[in-house]
Structure 1
Amino acid sequence: MSRVGRILLVDDDEALRMAVSQGLTLRGFDVATFDNGPAALKAVSRDFEGVVVSDVRMPGMDGLALFERVQAIDPDIPMLLITGHGDVAMAVAALQDGVYDFVSKPFPMERLAAALSRALEKRSLVLDNRRLEAAAQGAGGAFVLGDTPVMQRLRATIAQLAETEVDVLIQGETGVGKGLVAQALHRGGSRRNRAMITINCAALPEAVFETELFGAASGAANLRPSIGRIERADRGVLFLDEIDGLSPAMQAKLLNLVEEREIWPVGAAEPRHLDLRIIAASKVDLAEAVRAGAFRADLYYRLNVVTLVVPPLRERREDVPSLFGYFLAEASARLRRPTPRLTAVVRDHLLGHDWPGNVRELVHYAERVALGLPSAVLVEDVGRGVAEGLAERMARYEAMVIRETLTACEGDARIAMALLQTPRKTFYDKLRRHGIEIDRYRPKPAS
C-alpha cells in the first residue's frame, strides 16, 4: 500500500541544492530539484506522493508563499522549511500554520533524512486512507473486488457466464469468496429476479439428506408432506456449496438432479421436473478428488461444464487494501460507528500478513478495527495461537519492506539493492529466507 515517495527540493542556492540532493539520494530518497517555487508547483498535485522541502528565503516566491500555494492544492502535503539562524522564530510560527517541520542551517543530513522519512510515512497514510475511502464508495454492488490481473479476468469471465444457462463449478480455498462469485453469477444473469437457494452440503446430516433436499410426498410413511429445498429453487439458481463434503451415497442421490433436472421426493410415485441453473463450489480440486476416489467421476463431469478458480489472498496481495477499505466501511455502517482512519500498525499488518483465512479472515479483521478493539493485530495472533516474538515480528516486517520495494521498482534487483542499501549476497539470502520470488514483481513480456 505504501510506496517510495518523492522529495521536491526547492532552493535558489545551487551549491546547497546539489549537496542536499546528493546526500538524500545516497540515503535512498527520490529527489527532484528546482531553483524556484513556480517550477516546483508544476510537479505538485492532490495525488502527489511525496514531500516538499524549500528554503525560506528565495527571490520571487519565498518558502512561506510556496507553502500557501501547496496548501491550496492539498493541505495534507507535508512541507519542510530550510531556515537560516535568524529565521527560527518565523519557522516556529509556520509550524502552527501547518508546516510539517523545519531544519536550521547548517543541519546534519541525518536530521533532515529522519524528518523526511516521518513526513513520507504521514503522506503515505493520508493517501492510503483516501484510496480506502474511494474503494469503499466505488465498490457498491461489486461482488468480486480486486484490481490484480487475475481478478480482472475473473470478473470478465463472470460477466460472460452470467447471462448463459451453463452450470458452473467454483473452486478455491476456504474463505476466498466462492459464495460472492456465486452471487455475482446470479445477479448478473437472467434469473436475477428469482431465488438463489444455497445448500451447505457439508452441513447436511445424511439421515435427513433426502427429506431436507427432495421433500416428501403425500402418503410417505411417517413423514408430513413437504417441499424440499431444491424444489424451492425452481426457475431460479441452486447453489451447492462445499459439494466436496458430500458422502458417496449423497453424491449418488444428486446425480439424477444434475443430469436430468428432476427430483424424486420421498414416497413419490413419479419425479418432479425442475427448471434450474446449478452452481457448485468446492474447497478442493475435484479432479484430484476423483483420482483419489473421494468424489464420483460422473457427478464431477456433469458439474464441470465451466470451472472458475478463485485465487487466495496471498497470491493477490495488492488487492488487500481495496478489499479492506470496502469491508471496513461496510462493518462501520453495520455497527453504526464512524469509519476509523488507517493507522501505520493496521497498514503494516495488511501488507505483511499472509491471510491464511483469505477474504473471510480479512472481513473479521475489518470488523475488529471498526470496533476499535485495542491491539487488534495481537488479538488476532493470539486467537490463532501464534503469539509472535520480537524476532518473528521483525522478520515479517523485513519481508514486507522487501516486497514493497520490489513492487515499487518492478522487480529490478539492482534498484532494490540500492534503495534497501543491501549488498547483493545479503539481498538474495533474504529473498530465499522469506520465500520471495523476484520474478513475480517483474513486468510480464508482451505476448
Structure 2
Amino acid sequence: RGSAVERCLVGQSTALRRLRDDIASLSSAAADVLVLGETGAGKEQVARALHEGGARAAKPFVAINCGAIPESMFESEMFGHEAGAFTGAGKRRIGKVEHASGGTLFLDEVESMPLALQVKLLRVLQERRVERLGSNTSVPVDLRVVAATKEDLDALSEAGRFRRDLFFRLNVVTLTLPPLRERREDIPLLFERFLVQAAVKYQRPVIEVPPSLRRSLMLADWPGNVRELKNAAERYVLGFLSPDLAGSPGAAPSLDALLDRVERLVIEDALKASGQRIAEAARTLGLPRKTLSDRMRRLGLSAGD
C-alpha cells in the first residue's frame, strides 16, 4: 500500500513526505476527509492515494467534479433517479453515490454543489443512505467520502454560500496539499515522470532535460501547479518549448546565483514546515544547526521571513 501511495503522490519534499505519512495513518480508518489545495495542485491524487493505500483499494473510486455538472442535472447525476421521476426519465438510473458503494466517492470543487442539494449529501455522510430522485425509500451505501476544495469553506459558510452543518461534517479530518512553489524539490522528479507519460501518449522519444531547463523549471512559480507542469512536459515532448522556460543563454544568471536562489527556497520551505524553528528545520534538511544558521546569514534569511 505504501508504494501505491507513492505512485499517486510523487516527490521527496518534506511537505509531501508528511502528507504521505498522514495518508498512511488514515489507511485503516473509514473517516471522511477534506482535501485543501490550490487549483491544479493534485487534490484528486491525494484522494486516489487515500483510496489505493487503504482497505477499499480493490473497490470503486468514483470522481465527480461538482463545478462541471449543470444544476438541473446535479441531483440525478449524484443521487440517481427512478423511472418516471421527471420528463425523459424512462428508466432507473443509479447515481454516483451508489456506484461508489464499497469504495471511495471523490467530490472535487465541493463548494460548487448547489445549496439545495447539500442537505442530501449531509444525509449520506450522517446516515450512509441515499434516496434516488422520485423514490420514497433510501438505499444503504458503504463508502468513504473525500471532498476537495480550493476555497475557504468556513468563510463561505459564514457568508451563507455553503451549509454550515455540512462544513462541520466535512471538516473532521483535513489534509492540505501545498502548492508546487512550496515544494520545488519535487519538480524535477514530477517533470521526468510527466515526460515519460507524454512520450508514451504521443509515441515520441523521451528527450533529455538539459541543466538550463531544469534550473528554469525549479525557479518558475507554477501558478497552475502540477497540472501546469504536466502541460509543460507535454509541450516539451512535442517540441513546443515555452520561451520563458527555455530562457536565453546570454541573459541567464550565473550558476552561483541560481544555486543561491534554489538553496534559499529550500531553506524557506523547511522553515515554514517547521513553524520557523531553526533546529527542527536543520534536522529536516539533515544539517547541523550551526551550518544552517551560517547559510541563512549568508543568504540574508532569518526565522520568520
Q: TM-score, normalised by structure 2?
A: 0.80
C-alpha change, 1:269 and 1:323, in structure 2 (3 Å) is same
Paired amino acid for 2:187 = V
Aligned to 2:95: 228
Report the residue type matching 1:178 in the other structure.
K
- Cα distance change of structure 1 residues 213 and 343 upon mapping to structure 2, 3 Å threshold: same
Give the whole-Å Cα distance in 1 for the aligned partners of 2:296 and 2:23.
Answer: 40
CA contact (8 A) 1:200 1:242 kept: yes
Per-residue Cα deviation, 1:241-281 (whole angstroms, up to 9, x for no partner): 11011232232332212221212211112111111111111
Q: Secondary structure at the match of 2:8?
A: coil
| Counterpart check, 1:403 vs 2:270 | no
Residue 283 (structure 2) aligns with: none
Q: Cα distance 1:397–1:312, how it changes in 2: closer, same or farther (>3 A)?
A: farther
In the TM superposition, what whole-angstrom CA distance separates every residue of 1:186-241 from its partner, at most 9, and x where no partner exists? 11111111111111101111111111112112342432221112211111211111
State the alpha-carbon separation in 1 of the partners of residues 149 and 155 from structure 2.
12
* 1:278 counterpart SS class: strand
1:328 corresponding residue in structure 2: 195
2:225 maps to what in 1?
A: 358
* Structure ID, larger Rg: 1
CA contact (8 A) 2:129 2:140 kept: yes
CA distance in 2, matches of 1:410, 1:355: 27
Greater RCO, 1 or 2 (C-alpha within 8 Å, sep 6+): 2
Equivalences for residues 295-314 of structure 1 within 5 A: 295-314=162-181
* TM-score normalised according to structure 1 size: 0.56
Q: Deviations over 1:268-313 (max 9, x none)?
A: 1211111111111111222232233322110011112210000001
8 Å CA contact 1:351–1:400 kept in 2: the answer is: no
Matched with 1:191 is 56
Structure 2 vs 1, CA of residues 372 and 282 (structure 1 numbering), >3 Å: closer, same or farther? Answer: same
Retained in 2: the 8 A contact 1:352–1:396? no
User: 2:40 maps to what in 1?
Assistant: 175
Would you say 1:273 and 2:140 are equivalent positions?
yes
Q: Is the 8 A contact 1:178 1:310 kept in 2?
A: yes
Name the CA shift for 1:297/1:405 in 2 (closer, same or farther; >3 Å).
Answer: closer
- Alignment match, 1:122: none
The aligned amino acid for 2:260 is: I
Match of 1:349 in 2: 216
CA distance in 1, matches of 2:163, 2:207: 49
Task: Find the residue that maps to 2:26 and give its secondary structure.
Answer: helix
> Is the 8 Å Cα contact of residues 174 and 283 (structure 1) preserved in structure 2?
yes
Query: 3-state DSSP class of the match of 2:35?
Result: strand
Deviation at 1:411, TM superposition (A): 6.1
CA-CA distance at 1:169 after TM superposition = 0.7
Deviation at 1:439, TM superposition (A): 4.2
**Letter of the aligned partner of 2:150 in structure 1?**
K
CA separation of 1:146/1:354 partners in 2, compared to 1, >3 Å: closer, same or farther?
same
Q: Give, in whole Å, the separation in 1 of the partners of 2:132 and 2:254.
A: 55
In the alignment, does 2:128 pair up with 1:261? yes
Aligned partner of residue 230 in structure 1, secondary structure: helix
* RMSD of Structure 2 on Structure 1 (CA): 3.1
Q: Structure 1 counterpart of 2:158, which letter? A: R
1:412 aligns with 2:270: no
Percent identical among aligned pairs is 41
Q: Report the equivalent of 2:29.
A: 164
* Structure 1 residues 173 and 267, CA gap change in structure 2 (3 angstroms): same
Aligned length: 276
> 2:4–2:52: 8 Å Cα contact kept in structure 1?
no
**Residue equivalent to 2:280:** none
Q: Which runs of no fewer than 5 residues in structure 2 stay unpaired?
A: 268-290
Per-residue CA deviations over 1:40-88 (Å, capped at 9, x if unaligned) read xxxxxxxxxxxxxxxxxxxxxxxxxxxxxxxxxxxxxxxxxxxxxxxxx
| CA gap 1:155/1:413 in 2 versus in 1, 3 angstroms | closer
